[in-house]
Structure 1
Amino acid sequence: MSTTVKPGQGPGKASGTGAVRAVRTRGGLSLRLDVRAVVVGLVLLALALAAGIALIGSGDYPMTPGEVVATLTGGGDAGQQFIVQDLRLPRVLVGLSVGAAFGVAGAVFQTVTRNPLGSPDVLGFAQGSSVGALTVIVYFQAGTFAVAAGAVVGGVATGLAIFLLAWKGGIHGYRFVLVGIGASAMLYAMVLYLMTKANIVEATQATTWMTGSLSGRDWDQVWPLAAVCVVCLPLVFFYGRPLRMLEMGDDAACALGVRVDRVRVVVLLAAVVLVASATAAAGPIAFVALTAPPLARRLTRSPGPNLVPAALMGAVLLVAADWSSQQIFGADQLPVGVLTGVLGGGYLLWLLATERRAGRI
């Protein structure tokens, strides 16, 4: 049995438009289904897959979408199998995973802080990962795996430090943002210091990593990031309903039975691990975590963090940006982090102007 709630018919509505369908089983289980959000999610999933196929077909040896699909399903000659399976598929999988991780982490930070500027880019987590990676590069001259491990350690350590500094009988969103901005400034200064200590080879390696790129990614980056996503993404999705209640305020959430501090700590820790792992795999790619959640919310027109649409939007943005950079500038001529930084910077200026006109800043 199912019923449809039209807009304006009571508290069950999703938002200004679209219907909410409540599906009830004979056993009494009830599921709230936002039809528009489901449709948007399916469209974003299709776009992510299409962008991935297009990216696999791009490069010095172009392939049509039909050839890509045929090769992925076991067809194609030996050369196509090597190009797709060994060279390009890992790049796409890393891009999709990194985009999804950034999208979910951005949704978590913006929901917990109740601030559209709440993002790993702004709060210092990306800078913490950069410090960890640069420390390994400059002082230990280590390889790719050690650099990734240093980025994870730096990101997680930064997250724990911000938690401790922002904790005062709980984590308050406004205090968390202020501490994060201060930590970001200090960590950026450490990045500059480490760059002055590096020789020309180390500085080149560090600059390339800090730009953020999917070039040269292989299965060594795919499997660790996939393992983190398999653990952390379902954990955050499990807390999707409590996160939505947090947007109503701590008092209202507590009245509805939400353990506010526990929810904040769990989802923030999971988000920090996602950001650190994604940064380790592809570098500190800018602004995906900032832009994906609000874009997903504008499309779904649904309240709450919109975690699944945010993840899919992040994947679409990152893979589409990487494909666009190859089409416009040539294969691997422009790191994807440069393009997302330019587009994200424009979005940030627009967001600041919008918030100022609304009187919120």
Structure 2
Amino acid sequence: MDFGTASQRLTRTDAAGPGRDGVLRTLRTGPFRFETGGSLPFLDVGYETWGRLDADASNAVLLHHALTGDTHVARGEGAEPGWWDGFVGPGRTIDTDRFFVVAANMVGGCYGTTGPSSPDPDGRPWGSRFPFTTVRDSVRAEARLADALGIDRWHTVLGGSLGGARALEWAAEYPDRVARCVVVAATAASSAEQIAFARIQTEAIRLDPDFAGGDYYAAGPGPVAGLGLARRLAHITYRSEPELDVRFGRSPQGSELPLGSATFDRGRYQVESYLDHQASKLVGRFDANSYLALTEALMSHDVGRGRGGVRSALGRLAGVRFMVAAVDSDRLYWPEQSERLARSLPGRTAVRYITSPIGHDGFLTDIGQLDAELRDGFLD
């Protein structure tokens, strides 16, 4: 897994104008100071675009990925599908024949934007030296990208889960640069339970003997066991109990129930096999340090921090038009948290519900349910 040279493989451009649809590009910016005081001598921002920017730059839409997502929201010039492929594209809800769509990788990630696996000026991965990053840091980096693209104000900023936190932070940090903000399956501030789930995930990585204090890049595959455990726990929170029960129940992976000594291989239940598969997929494509960095950023998410609290921060955003959506079966970001967020916004903002049996991940699989709401006047 070669995460450390990802930024080097990308084509850098000094003029960050519209490029080929769905092709990863990089903007290199100057020195960057983080909210908690750390700094980097330069910051690369990985991003993809679709469509064309109008002459007055009034049709720009910014989409935000979730925790382990990337910039590839939709198909472009290649055939590779994106994670919101049915939602973004020509004639779709986010119509790339009409809008200029931008998706940026979050600071600390491993898909084009500078993160722990990126090389420092001497060519060594930043590793444990990478500064603590927040959602606000990423928004400030994305503002540099917007400047380079010639976008003074976003028509719409939209995201789900961690992406929803980033969308909300954009509105709070740059209210004059956001006309519309769509927050899906996210909260104004991470709750104690969300932090608790996240803490177990980060500890699973840090306690892996191959973590090496975060400087594992030259020593082998790194903390893949810890990252796999983190993913297993996370994925349980992304799905609902009824969905897991209907899909797997107590069925064994083979013909016999996995009974026997707990200290030896005993076979697997189907649900265990499913979680093992999810873990294997992630460790093959994601950097453990980036998982730590982005999870810690989400744990620290609080739109009211330094702004007098959530109600004060959101109450001053009368110039931004909001849509808040929740997944009715979500057990990680409870619908009531979306209701509280909506009540903290100026005016009356009703929560739209995505009806899905699968839980939190419904914001990915069933986002199309917001099509009518978004097309009918919101994305005018």
- Structure 1 or 2: more strand by fraction: 2
* More helix per residue: 1
User: Normalised by the size of structure 2, how large is the TM-score?
Assistant: 0.25
For normalisation by structure 1, the TM-score amounts to 0.26
